[in-house]
Structure 1
């Protein structure tokens, strides 16, 4: 479940990073990025074309933008703690590998400069997560304990993210920073397999895996607020760094400049 946080972060951050390099000005932005102008009537078409043209590079990684290879995407460690509702768990996932990012559908990519609004909607047919895990706690009053290898397959994940910015001045130039972020996601199915639950008790472990797969929807709803908050915090920290490094005119220049 946690993999969605990092995937969305990288994709939304990528969309904003691909917007432009202004004419006649020095910039650290890579020259292969397509120029899009904030006062152009074709802004959204240009932004989508920019995103789509960059997808092959995205899968292999873009060192100029500090983006690692995304097929598969590798994450050293993910931590998640939940201590409310029906779930009380402390879990750690290490050496995480996520596959399936390249097979996605972009439904919407829109920018509203007058509102400093960036929106993205995207669907992944299947995402597969493999990692080493350690987990301890309770789910719906049932003990949960284990460490070993795990696999999680997520089916038809659709995410919609809206990011709202605000302007401020830095060294005489206009920059943006995050004012608000709204995230929604839906998924069709989750299937997971946690090996070595309950110190290797295969019967107990299988019953717990069966329970998790049969009740994935209610469990997903329990952790939804936590996931959204984590995603918003990560997006804010990451994209504010991008906005601080490049001015508004560098990221999204005006035709009237």
Structure 2
């Protein structure tokens, strides 16, 4: 026959284990899912609010600044500088062709973006934004291969592109995604257009081992800076759109739609 003291101790031990498990379960619900809590830099914007666009404008402005150094909580890498490991573009015609490869490109200045306007269309699942970027500094390595008529051109080295007073337009398309009984926003496409007022290029100084030719090419690039950017822009905008699409979804997947945009 078990002694009363031992029976009591056994009961208390069992009770302690049960309560311990309950406490662990409670802790996992309340503190083990930190991503379910909207961080301070994201505003909760109500769709019925007549100032919804202003609220979203403020929320996106805060998010851009907060993501400068990235977020380990949201698994988002730093965006300023933003790094693009590899980018390739080609332009060709009968008289001239150019294949340009950019490597280890770093873009600095994105978090100085000022959001000017936001138009939110929750019915069509679309956001339209306009913004100003005081400056963008782009640096990396390049390899250029091409020809003008029968004259071959080969160049490689470091490059820098400086843009100032740029206007940017974003159009973001998204859809609602059901996960475990909750609706989340998921970005389908991130269209981006950047229009700088001024552009300055420096694509190295050596072209076919001829320094004079390299300097002439650099002069040509800067005298035709906007035309050159027009050629490069589609590929760069597509790449940036994909990066921002990924970052946006990385943030949105942590919070149900009714948490960020309740009625």
C-alpha displacement of 1:238: 4.7
1:16-63: per-residue Cα shift (whole Å, max 9, x none)?
xxxxxxxxx974355323222223222222222223445553334333
C-alpha displacement of 1:215: 1.6
Partner of 1:150: 159
Choose from 174, 182, 191 the match for 1:165: 174
Matches of 2:179 and 2:99, distance apart in 1 = 43
TM-score normalised by structure 2 residue count: 0.71
Partner of 1:248: 257
Q: Is the 8 A contact 1:89 1:138 kept in 2?
A: no
Worse-superposed segment, 36-45 or 208-217:
36-45
C-alpha displacement of 1:143: 4.1
Partner of 2:85: 77
Choose from 113, 119, 123 the match for 1:104: 113
Unmatched tracts of structure 1, length 5 or more: 1-24
C-alpha displacement of 1:160: 0.6
C-alpha displacement of 1:140: 8.5
Matches of 2:262 and 2:62, distance apart in 1 = 19
Q: Is the 8 A contact 2:61 2:114 kept in 1?
A: no
1:62-82: per-residue Cα shift (whole Å, max 9, x none)?
3333344444x0415131221
Matches of 1:141 and 1:176, distance apart in 2 = 53
Q: What SS does structure 1 have at the residue aligned with 2:57? A: helix
Choose from 23, 36, 46 the match for 1:28: 36
Partner of 2:28: none
Unmatched tracts of structure 2, length 5 or more: 1-32
Counting only pairs closer than 5 Å after superposition, residues 75-224 of structure 1 correspond to structure 2 as: 75=83, 77-84=85-92, 87-94=97-104, 96-138=105-147, 143-224=152-233
Q: How many residues align?
A: 228
Choose from 49, 52, 58 the match for 2:67: 58
C-alpha displacement of 1:122: 1.3
Partner of 2:15: none
Worse-superposed segment, 192-201 or 52-61:
52-61
1:114-169: per-residue Cα shift (whole Å, max 9, x none)?
22211221121221122233332347986442222212111222111111222343
The alignment yields a C-alpha RMSD, in angstroms, of: 3.1
The structure-2 alpha-carbon separation of the partners of 1:149 and 1:65, relative to structure 1 and needing over 3 Å to count, comes to same
Matches of 1:31 and 1:241, distance apart in 2 = 14
Worse-superposed segment, 183-192 or 233-242:
233-242
The structure-2 alpha-carbon separation of the partners of 1:120 and 1:137, relative to structure 1 and needing over 3 Å to count, comes to same
The structure-2 alpha-carbon separation of the partners of 1:103 and 1:190, relative to structure 1 and needing over 3 Å to count, comes to same
The structure-2 alpha-carbon separation of the partners of 1:121 and 1:130, relative to structure 1 and needing over 3 Å to count, comes to same
The structure-2 alpha-carbon separation of the partners of 1:63 and 1:232, relative to structure 1 and needing over 3 Å to count, comes to same
Larger Rg: 2
C-alpha displacement of 1:111: 2.0
